Amino acid sequence: MDPGEGGMFPLTRERIAAGWIREIAQRAGLPVRILSDEEIDASLRATLEARPEEGPVRVFAYGSLIWNPTVRYRDRQIACISGYRRRFCLRTILGRGSPERPGLMLGLDHGGSCRGVVYTLAEEDCEEELRLLWRREMVTGAYRPRWLRARVPNGMVSAIAFTIERRHERYCRELSDSEMLDMLATGEGPLGRACDYLYDTARHLRTLGIPDRQLEELAERVRRRRAELAAAGVLAD
């Protein structure tokens, strides 16, 4: 599997299906627990068995699934969930980070609310798309898939959401302001820079008409931090 420009691996359906995370972790000898196919399939089965109602399967997206879903879907709607908020709370040394330059990823953590999008999967594609989605989101067990109620323009629907697994070793319950800024400013791995993950998410939420004010402010602070580090010769920007 060859990297793209700059040694980065663009996240595609083909690479997910081919087990790119396992390959990268094994090649680099990273101390990351990777779930087996059997464990991932068991998680998917358990989630579907807990399906609260009949009808199409929906997935709530709040981060990179918004701007790079990699799954086929029938339609997409703006949605809002309550009881969880979008938060940079997952330390990564694999996708947007490395052992030398760890990054941060988003998770749905307890409290507040979150606006994003809901994808409705076509029945004929549902099994294949969910299997692909699980091999993207659940490969390290850092998330806990839950059925949450989401408000869409025409009412309420149930959707699968990947909430953070608070018992996971890389879950960041508390981060100082400087720690968060530094990890987002300097984190970089096979999938690219942590700051670009932040910028892309903020930009696409804004484009959808559901800007996240806190994310926008964080993006500006990370840009300033990167400029400071570049001026000090610590970071090549």
What distance in Å separates the CA atoms of residue 149 and residue 161, rounded to the nearest whole number? 9
What pLDDT, on a 0 to 100 scale, did the predictor assign at position 54?
Answer: 86
- Sign of the Cα torsion 140, 143, 146, 149 reads negative
What distance in Å separates the CA atoms of residue 169 and residue 101, rounded to the nearest whole number? 17
Structure confidence at residue 4 as a pLDDT band (50, 70, 90): very low
66: amino acid identity, one letter: I
214: amino acid identity, one letter: Q
72 to 32, 125, 135: CA distances (angstroms): 29, 8, 15
1: burial class by Cβ within 10 Å (0-12, 13-18, 19+)?
exposed
What distance in Å separates the CA atoms of residue 112 and residue 62, rounded to the nearest whole number? 14
| CB count in 10 Å sphere of residue 164 | 23
Of 28-37, 85-94, 163-172, 175-184, the range with the lowest mean pLDDT is 28-37
Q: What is the pLDDT of residues 113-126, one digit of tens each?
A: 999 999 999 999 99
What pLDDT, on a 0 to 100 scale, did the predictor assign at position 183?
Answer: 98
Beta bridge partners, 119, equal 59, 76
- List the catalytic residues: 137
Q: What is the pLDDT of residues 44-66, one digit of tens each?
A: 999 999 999 888 999 999 999 99
What pLDDT, on a 0 to 100 scale, did the predictor assign at position 33?
Answer: 85
Contact call for residues 152 and 118 (beta carbons, < 8 A): yes
What pLDDT, on a 0 to 100 scale, did the predictor assign at position 171?
Answer: 97
Contact call for residues 93 and 32 (beta carbons, < 8 A): yes
Let me know how many helices (H) and strands (E) the chain has, helices first: 8, 7
Residue identified by tokens 């101390």 is 31
8-231 domain in CATH 3.10.490.10? yes
Q: Chain-wide mean pLDDT for the chain?
A: 92
* pTM, rounded to two decimals: 0.93
Extract the runs of DSSP E, i.e. beta strands, from 153-212. Answer: 155-164, 188-189, 192-193
Q: How far is CA 115 from the centre of its chain?
A: 14
What pLDDT, on a 0 to 100 scale, did the predictor assign at position 9?
Answer: 60
Hey, where are the domains in the chain? 8-231
